[in-house]
A = this chain, B = another copy of it.
Amino acid sequence: MTVTSFKIEKSGCSECPIRHKALCSRCEPDELVLLEDMKSYKTYPAGTTILWTGDQMEFMSTVVTGVASLSQTMEDGRRQMVGLLLPSDFIGHPNRDISQFDVVAATDVTLCRFRRKQFRELLIESPNIVGRLLEMALDELDAAREWMLLLGRKTAREKIASLLAIVAQREAALRLQEAAGQTQFELHLTREAMADYLGLTLETVSRQMSALKREGTIVLKNKRVIVVPNFAKLMDETGDDSDGGLIV
């Protein structure tokens, strides 16, 4: 177990960084005490596979810190990422004990875990948790469906622009700003990860990135940090309608 996880293990739920967003966000103080008893933390180094397709899932987990990816692989190696797990996102299925996907730590990842059996009992007793879990599942479902449009119908160019726009908006939201005018953000993904996410090859990703650079839509500061001089111009490339396709 690493040092980071140890620090977290000392602190209670009330100091948890994702307290207001995770499945426990609606819990009353007395319910939190219950959770406090059951939970355990575990940290995985970047690059580790947390769960393979077909693995037994002894635990239900919430991402506390770090980023993990959910992906599927075909026999011949073709791979598709089907979800990005950010802090507060949930891993597990109360009624299925076998993982349907590979879960890979993209950065160092710390999970807050509950044993399946205990968790199921918890669900029966705690409507606040079930309700929040339902809400989160429905949000994930909508996100997955949005992504299906991208995978099925967008061109390579539009896919790249969409990904960049989404990451930019997410980072802006963290700073409580809106992505508009000049924006700057960090892209943690390798070209290969982008390709897996978008259903492209890494060469196509590289080519389209170069094209966007050449045309001045984006400027690369240092391979990871991207500057968007004019966010509207990037949005034009996504293929979405003017309001960004998002219901705000």
List A residues at the B interface (Cβ < 8 Å): 54, 70, 72, 74-76, 78-80, 82-83, 93-96, 98, 100-101, 123-124, 127, 130-131, 133-135, 137-138, 140-142, 144-149, 151-153, 198-199, 239-241, 247
Contact = CB atoms under 8 A, between A and B. Distances in A.
A96 to B, nearest CB: 7
Among A82, A93, A140, A239, residue most surrounded by chain B Cβ atoms (within 10 Å): A82
A152 B93 contact: no
Nearest to A98: B247
B145 A70 contact: yes
Among A54, A124, A135, A198, residue most surrounded by chain B Cβ atoms (within 10 Å): A135
B141 A137 contact: yes
Given A123-B131, A138-B93, A152 B101 contact: no
28 contacts: A70-B145, A72-B146, A72-B149, A74-B153, A75-B239, A75-B241, A76-B239, A80-B148, A80-B152, A82-B148, A82-B149, A93-B138, A93-B142, A96-B138, A98-B247, A100-B142, A127-B127, A127-B130, A130-B130, A133-B134, A140-B141, A141-B141, A144-B145, A147-B148, A148-B148, A148-B151, A152-B198, A152-B199
Contacts of A80: 148-149, 152-153
A152 B149 contact: no
Contacts of A83: 145
A135 B95 contact: yes
B79 A153 contact: yes
Nearest to A247: B98
